[in-house]
Structure 1
Amino acid sequence: MKILVCDDEALARDRLVRLLRDSDDCEIIGEAENGREALQKIELLAPDVVLLDIRMPVMDGIACAEELSRLPNPPAVIFITAFDEHALAAFQVEAVGYLLKPVRKDQLNEALARASRVNRAQLQHIREQSNDEAKPEARQHITARTHRGLELIPVSDIYYFLADQKYVTVRHLRGQVLVDETLKDLEAEFGDRFIRVHRNALLATHFLDGLESLAGGQYQVRFRGIPEKLVVSRRHLPQLREKMQSL
């Protein structure tokens, strides 16, 4: 069983490595300090299991696991938490390990024996049961699989999300990628940074440059930095105007 250890604390990573070192069934193939680095190493190393801390800078464990859940063949995930036992008990869902720091060897072995994939329903359960302080913030990156491998697109670099049938185009500073997500989910997660201007489009408010009128009383929006313009529906025009006045 190939294992990747991800924790922002070197001492915590070292402890997990020591616990696993004597096991004949386990091979430590890499370490990471945050979720973003973990995603990159998972793409390269293809571990069977990821031991994943929840509270980390850059990208936390929940956000990392969400990205992994979208992969065709994600590794199993075992969360390593600093939550108290009451919160930990609320997180216990079948086939996924949640271990309390400091991790004990018998607990780790048991979790490895029953580890399996994290799915979106389980992640939602974590969010609903955790307290406000522990709830993760919106992702800082969008993950897309392209011919170059696993690409991480900073949300701050995204101009817009544009839905087209089952995929969403993500237009960003360096080009565009396709992701298998829905505008509804993206709007729910990033609604404070993006605004819906059409049933098939979410625009980043910090890239908005202005409105232009078209024939027939329609409008289109301009962006700073790119020539593309997108049509604004009549339904969403008042909300967009109100938003632009506050920028």
Structure 2
Amino acid sequence: MRVLVVDDEPLARARMADLLDRLGHEVAGEAADGTQALEAVRKLHPDTVLLDIRMPGMDGLTVARELAAQPRPPAVIFCTAYDDLALQAFRVSAVDYLVKPVRQSDLEAALNKARRLTQAQLAALAEAESPPGKVLVCNDVAGTVRLDVAGIYYLMADQKYVNVVHEAGTCLTDQSLKDIEAAIGEPLLRIHRNTLVNRHHVLALQRDADGHYVTLRGHPERLRVSRRLYAQVRQVLRGTEGG
């Protein structure tokens, strides 16, 4: 692939160029700030952009928004020293989010994602109609997605974000579990202070030495049920309790 490297630090650009060379990719060009990056994309038409976030003037998130508005945008992989901007990155359709110092194996995996995510796939995603039934909006490597709640296995709060595990993979949302629970309601069931489960996917309510947990149809995860919520969960799942 032809890759544009965007970073305000020359040493960082040189290191990325070296990694790309080792992985067999072509460095289409380099840019030291957001304005240069947009101009380079216009002239060079790279397949992928490795993009720093914190740069003088126009930052990487703004660059990514500008690129996403183009008819045939390149794939964007953020490479940054900051680990707290992942959700914002996925909101602007980033393929991946790598934290410096970037390891060669992580860069290779991200570039493979970029290769798989063709322009046809992006166009199909953007044009897809909203699925029927209740919908949850979240963000994954393809950008903003609208999930049919029926396809969600569970949601688990993790510091600033909520991880949404669904039939096609995972995504993130910055909505709180409380807000999601209030907005969607059935079939989401609170089983722990940090977990909502789709009760239609629950296979059984079981117990081990550490307490109670639920198992899911079609997913290997065991989800812990808090003592405080156990009676309520058991009542709702009384037809599916397995032990």
Task: Give the TM-score category using the shorter length.
Answer: 0.3 to 0.5
TM-score computed with the length of structure 2 as normaliser: 0.45
